[in-house]
Structure 1
Amino acid sequence: MNSELHYEISNFLNHEAFLLDHNHYNEWLDILSVDIKYRMPLRVTTNNKGQSNIVNNMTYFEETKSSLISRVARLYTSSAWAENPATRQRHIISNVMIESTSNSDEYQVRSYILFLRSRGSDHDTEKLFGERLDIIRKENSKWKLIERTIYPDQAVLTISNMSMFL
């Protein structure tokens, strides 16, 4: 990959993190393609080191643009009790690796994520970390997220709810 492309895609991912960290959810929806697939399969602990510990047919969430729009809309209502008081969150993205796909406008992008969240005056900080596998496409001269699969490193998630976006 050339450095200009890496810079563009890394900036896209950093901008996405900024939008999520600052609760700009409607703007975040704008960078998602209409055909987005957004999912997080389960990780399990296995004794067999040669066997995959990802269970792809079981997910914490499997979303479409429509379901993501509904989740975002709910955040702006009084029934979003999981976000009251509002959380403070950080999405730390690193190790961005980009590969070409068979479509010249699409790229497969791997990145690592560290998600941190605190609430109110709580002393506890929740964290989730893992790897993301994205498909990113240029549509009308703008980058769009087409597909995201999040592979958590934890087999047991230590977060209080799944109201966040990764």
Structure 2
Amino acid sequence: METTANRIAISYGSDTYDDVLEFLYREAEELDERRHHEWLDMLTQDVRYLVPVRITSAHSLDDSALEDMAHFDEDRYSLGKRVARFDTEHAWAEDPPSRTRRFVTNVRAWEGDAAGELVVRSNILLFRSRGDIHDHDLLSGGRTDVLRRENGALRLARRTVLLDESVLRTQNLAVFL
């Protein structure tokens, strides 16, 4: 997980912070509206998208996760394959009449290690209902992103999502967080 210690914080209300918020909100909207190809355009070519499996510990609430096991450990190629699958009749997790909403909150940003990069932490809440089924899915977690400015636009270069549960109650995790 990307550390924020000794980094320069991006001020709330600054142009850079507003760009970060615009990126995150537009990304959530693209995914909620199932515009997955447009979402792919928001990623760098060397993107890494990681959702590690959490470790449950009796006396700890730290951010422990398994290093060698993940719900997602994707690069641009595999994310592209997932998106292409949404165009087929086999994309059951995102097939209407399901409704998915992503809520992004508590956004904090810092200058990254490389020029043009920002480290961004946010919280995510994903709500998914499956048509007329009464039960719904709620997934919450914290995200650490590295956003990179390319050709004047921010793009997602790395995302690590630590879900708040170690045992997921959702039937599948075929949606992007």
Partner of 2:31: 20
Q: Identity, % of aligned pairs?
A: 39
- The residue identity in structure 2 corresponding to 1:110 is R
Match for residue 117 of structure 1 among 115, 128, 131: 128
| Residue 31 (structure 1) aligned with residue 35 (structure 2) | no
Matched, 1:101 2:112: yes
How many angstroms apart in 2 are the aligned matches of 1:49 and 1:12? 33
Distance 1:55 1:62 in 2: 12
Matches within 5 A, 1:1-166: 1-2=10-11, 3-49=14-60, 53-166=64-177
Per-residue deviation, residues 96-126 of structure 1 (Å, max 9, x unmatched): 0101122120010000000000111121110
What secondary structure does 1:102 align onto?
coil
Of 91-100 and 77-86, more deviation after overlay is shown by 77-86
Matches of 2:83 and 2:76 in 1, distance apart?
10
CA RMSD across the alignment? 1.5
Q: Give the TM-score of the pair, scaled to structure 2.
A: 0.88
Indicate how the Cα distance of structure 1 residues 119 and 49 shifts in structure 2: closer, same or farther if over 3 A, else same.
closer
SS in 2 for 1:109: strand
Question: Which amino acid in structure 2 is aligned with residue 135 of structure 1?
Answer: V
In structure 2, distance between residues paired with 1:50 and 1:38: 23
Judged with a 3 Å threshold, the aligned counterparts in structure 2 of structure 1 residues 152 and 141 are, in CA distance, closer, same or farther, namely same
Distance 1:6 1:163, change over 3 A: same
Aligned residue-pair number:
166
Q: By how many angstroms is 1:51 displaced?
A: 6.7
**C-alpha displacement of 1:48:** 4.3
Evaluate the alpha carbon distance shift between residue 11 and residue 37 of structure 1 in structure 2; reply closer, same or farther with a 3 A threshold: same
1:114-164, CA deviations, whole angstroms, 9 ceiling, x for partnerless residues? 000011112111011000000001000011000000000111111111110
Indicate the larger mover: 47-56 or 57-66: 47-56
Residue matched to 2:7: none
Q: Give the direction of change, closer, same or farther, for the CA distance of 1:103–1:53 in structure 2 (3 Å limit).
A: closer
Structure 1 residue 50: deviation in Å? 8.1
The Cα offsets for residues 36-88 of structure 1, whole Å up to 9 and x where unpaired, read as 00010111211343875322221111001110111111111112233344421
Q: Is the 8 A contact 2:94 2:175 kept in 1?
A: no
